[in-house]
Structure 1
Amino acid sequence: MIRAAILRLLAEVGYGALTMDAVASEAGVGKATIYRRWRTKQDLVVDTIGDLAAVGAVPADTGSLEGDLRSLMHGYVSVITGPTGAAIRSLLSTIPHHPALAEAFRTGPVSVWRDGVDEVWARAERRGEVPAGVGHRLIAESVSALLVQRWLITGRPVDDDVADEVLETVVLPVIRNAVATSR
Structure 2
Amino acid sequence: MAVVTTPDTVRTSRGGRPRDPSRDGVIREAILRLLGDVGYGALTMDAVAAEAGVGKATIYRRWRTKQDLVVDTIAVMNQTLAAPVDTGSMESDVREVVHRMVDIINGPVGTAIRSLLPSMQHQPALTEAFRTGPLQAWRDSYSRMWAQAEERGELPPGMSQSVLAESTTALLTQRWLLTGEPVTHEYADEVLARVVLPLLQAQHP
If the TM-score is normalised by the length of the shorter chain, which range does it land in? over 0.9
- Percent identity, please: 62
1:160 matched to 2:188? The reply is no
Q: Structure 2 stretches of 5 or more lacking a match?
A: 1-25
| TM-score where L is the length of structure 2 | 0.83
The secondary structure found in structure 2 opposite 1:128 is: coil
Could you say which residue in structure 1 is the equivalent of 2:86?
61
Deviations 1:162-183 (A, max 9, x none): 1111122111222233x26xx5
Could you say which residue in structure 2 is the equivalent of 1:47?
72
Shift of 1:134: 4.2
Identify the structure with bigger relative contact order (alpha carbons < 8 Å, sequence gap 6+): 1
| TM-score where L is the length of structure 1 | 0.92
The secondary structure found in structure 2 opposite 1:39 is: coil
Shift of 1:56: 1.9
Which of residues 125, 135, 143 is equivalent to 1:100? Answer: 125
- Map 1:102-121 → 2, pairs under 5 A: 102-121=127-146
CA gap of 1:12–1:154, structure 2 versus 1, over 3 A, is: same
Shift of 1:51: 1.6
Could you say which residue in structure 2 is the equivalent of 1:141?
166
- Map 1:27-46 → 2, pairs under 5 A: 27-46=52-71
Q: Structure 1 stretches of 5 or more lacking a match?
A: none
Which of residues 21, 42, 47 is equivalent to 1:22? Answer: 47
Task: Pick which of 67-76 and 164-173 moved more.
Answer: 164-173
Question: Is the CA contact (8 Å cut-off) linking 2:45 and 2:66 kept in structure 1?
Answer: yes
Could you say which residue in structure 2 is the equivalent of 1:171?
196
The secondary structure found in structure 2 opposite 1:92 is: helix
Question: Is the CA contact (8 Å cut-off) linking 1:53 and 1:113 kept in structure 2?
Answer: no
CA–CA distance in structure 1, aligned partners of residues 124 and 176 of structure 2: 24
| Greater helix fraction, Structure 1 or Structure 2 | 1
- Map 1:70-109 → 2, pairs under 5 A: 70-109=95-134
Shift of 1:148: 1.2
Could you say which residue in structure 2 is the equivalent of 1:126?
151
CA–CA distance in structure 1, aligned partners of residues 41 and 164 of structure 2: 35
The secondary structure found in structure 1 opposite 2:82 is: coil
Aligned residues: 180
Could you say which residue in structure 1 is the equivalent of 2:6?
none
Deviations 1:113-158 (A, max 9, x none): 0111100001101111112234543223212211011122222211
Aligned amino acid, residue 39 of structure 1: R
Aligned amino acid, residue 61 of structure 2: R
